Amino acid sequence: MVGIVGTAGISAGNSAGNNGSGAVSAWKKVEARVELHDGTVLEGLFVIARDNRLSDFLNNPKKQFIALIDREKTTHLLNKEHIVRATEIKSD
C-alpha cells in the first residue's frame, strides 16, 4: 500500500506569517523531508498551527491524513501510518 493517497495543487499563502493585511496568521509553514515505508522520499511544506512543533503536528491523534506541499505546488495527502521518518529542514 502506498502512503500517498492523492494529489491536488493548492497555494499555501505567504511565508511571512501574515495575510497581507498586517494581521499575524495562526499558521506557519514548516519545510520537511518525509520518508515513507515503501522508500518514497518527499520534501515540501506542512502548514501547521503557529504554536505547534512538527512533532506535535505529526503526533496529533485526531488527524490520520496530512498534506505536504512540494516545490511544484502539488499537495500530497499522506496517511501518517506510512511515515517512517520526518525531519524538519532548517533554513539558514
**All cell numbers assigned to 8:** 491536488
Q: How many CA atoms lie within 13 A of 2 on its CB side?
A: 9
Task: Write the pLDDT tens digit of every residue in 45-67.
Answer: 999 999 999 999 999 999 999 99
Name the pTM for this structure. Answer: 0.70
* Number of domains present in the structure of the chain: 1
Domain harbouring 37, CATH code: 2.30.30
**4 pLDDT band (50/70/90 cuts)?**
very low
What residue numbers bound the domain in which 64 lies?
A: 4-11+25-88
| d(C-alpha 11, C-alpha 41), whole Å | 21
